[in-house]
Structure 1
């Protein structure tokens, strides 16, 4: 196995799900999103771990992601959160996915593709995200349209919250407005004589800050993988699930005035020792971290990355007097190093992008550890 690997702490993941359960209470179901290869953690193992920990639903973004889970023997309900194209509908039906619907054209195409197969759908309302979904005032007539097809049934109504992860007054107000619009849409469905099924809205921010968003099911995403919104750490003390490690493969002496890596952006200001580690932007380590933004941990001490991060390698300044040896473990992300949120902050992005960006050539190793990363 490569020196560079991502350790995935399954017990930590399950603990995070239990924290969500404690937060939302025994009533709402938990839907675990495993889209984008479970945010970079590996879709199939994380889906199985989520179900073992009590999740009732899974969620994916593409038909292919759903099919991957079915081929792995997973038979739990799988929500398809993004819109497929007509060519994907036969696979959607054969994989028994639960698509989101919001307009007549797609609903009719779905019914035609399903044929004699009974298919459950969830009605998506656009309450203010501005991405996809019907308007709440259209919900009743769209639900009635779904009910007119013998092979389709409405299993739920949902919306997506745009700013629920922020406690700013304006954002909290907007979230409350979205939830009110969702309730209005649900009432319109009931008045149309259609059972709305599961009502769900809470994403990570909803679970953290908006108890009135729990309804019948919650869909926390990055929260399950260990990252809570600012301000939610005490109520939801989740821990990161992914640890990124490698090993030193070469150590060399660098003299004062010598440069390291592409572009010669780093020059040694004194005689020092530089280590090479086999990880780069081809593995998902952002090149924008080049030149000291990234600090790694080796044998309990911090060391800066220096020079440009290459596709497959990067360099670490060990200093003039270091006891570090070739083959020593290097932690780039983990309990005693930076986490994905801290790395993301250096780049002006979010933790999602960091974990999702770890390339598939980095092996995922699934461990049952006693210490969270």
Structure 2
């Protein structure tokens, strides 16, 4: 996605923190998810591809099993089109006051969760002189986006009239499950049943060709009965399984150099407010990365990093630009590279661990890295990945 003109992202060759994005992992995850999906696969690349790069994630997913893309904002959709991506793109979160004309002209598919949205999209289509491609969005139990059961029939009937007159084409019917990250939760059955009623109403209105989609990453991995014609997966592309049932490959690694190393005696207060006071003589390392860069401040005093193969705890409050690490007796020196988080293959903390330390979600962690962090992109080499269950992983010697 195009960044504001005032944002300066440093070159990866310069010293400082850097994110390494493994497109090979994204390719493997996409293949695995496409194999699990009973229908086709929509790669959701919202929020700058879940913090991994909009265009990099989109192109990797499309070449490894996905057939379409999903975003929330019109800006993301237009950025994909501007980059030359011709695959189907769905955008589903805009106010009815948005200017839909550029998106309609570019063939972007648009969600309509209300009559107001439908009318605005239809007006844009009339202005552009081509039919809009529309997905009717139903609220299947989140009280969030999507039409309520009371409004759905009228929305379907109005859309069917416009569809019949060629002013727009209803190409999709969509919903979302509230508790798919908890397989077996009764709310999921309620959501599936609600979606079935929504679909039946749409079919009765004559919308027979619209493709249905309900499942996101967790349901794609655990609930085949929710798959329908396509599955929308986003977090799973970058290695996050909200259901905790499948071993996906994490695609992000954060490294940073030690800026300084100092020995301190017992009783030394660390950072703002002296929220930590050392209990023994130790060495403290300073990392040039803080909450402005994506280290959650709520992880203060709980986070860990990997230094010379050993886990070291962070101390005191995470500052805007700095994080202090307890090096103990490690022979670390300024300039040494520290792995803050990664796939965990070498013992480094994972995104999931950082989410737990910050009492948040992995999604929150990976989308939080700021523009000061340089990026290195590793291209996909297209290896195969076997689906591995969490039980398989726990049972390994």
- Same-fold call, TM cutoff 0.5: yes
Quote the offset at 1:245 in angstroms.
1.0
1:117-266 → structure 2 map (5 Å cutoff): 117-136=130-149, 138=153, 140-168=156-184, 171=185, 173-233=186-246, 237-266=247-276
Aligned length: 362
Extract structure 1 runs of 4+ deviating beyond 4 A. 369-372
State the alpha-carbon separation in 1 of the partners of residues 22 and 355 from structure 2. 21
Q: In structure 2, do the counterparts of structure 1 residues 145 and 340 end up closer, same or farther at CA, with 3 Å as the change threshold?
A: farther
1:127 to 1:331, Cα distance in 2 relative to 1, 3 A: same
TM-score (norm 2): 0.86
Partner of 1:331: 339
Rounded Cα–Cα distance in structure 2 between residues aligned with 1:85 and 1:141: 19
Deviations 1:34-82 (A, max 9, x none): 1111111111111111111121111111111111111211111111121
Asked if the contact 1:225–1:239 (Cα under 8 Å) also holds between the matched residues in 2, the reply is yes
Instruction: Tell me, in whole angstroms, the C-alpha distance in 1 between the residues paired with 2:380 and 2:111.
Output: 37
For residue 292 of structure 2, the aligned residue among 266, 279, 282 is 282
Unaligned runs of 5+ in 2: 1-13, 386-397
Paired with 2:144 and 2:162, the residues of 1 have a C-alpha distance of 21
For the aligned residues, what is the CA RMSD? Answer: 2.0
Q: C-alpha displacement at 1:241, in angstroms?
A: 1.0
When residues 14 and 369 of structure 1 are mapped into structure 2, their CA distance, relative to the original with a 3 A threshold, is: closer
> For 1:113-169, what per-residue CA distance to the aligned partner results, in whole angstroms no more than 9, with x for missing partners?
22202221111111212112224561642442341452310111111111111034x
Q: Residue 267 of structure 2: SS of its match in structure 1?
A: coil
Superposed, 1:1-373 pairs within 5 Å as 1-25=14-38, 28-114=39-125, 115=127, 116-136=129-149, 138=153, 140-168=156-184, 171=185, 173-233=186-246, 237-291=247-301, 293-319=302-328, 321-334=329-342, 335=344, 336-368=347-379
The 3-state SS of whatever aligns with 1:202 is: coil
Preserved CA contact (<8 Å) 1:40 1:356 = yes
| Distance in 2, Cα, partners of 1:239 & 1:124 | 31
Give the secondary structure class of the aligned counterpart of 2:214. strand
Distance of 2:58 and 2:81 partners within structure 1: 11
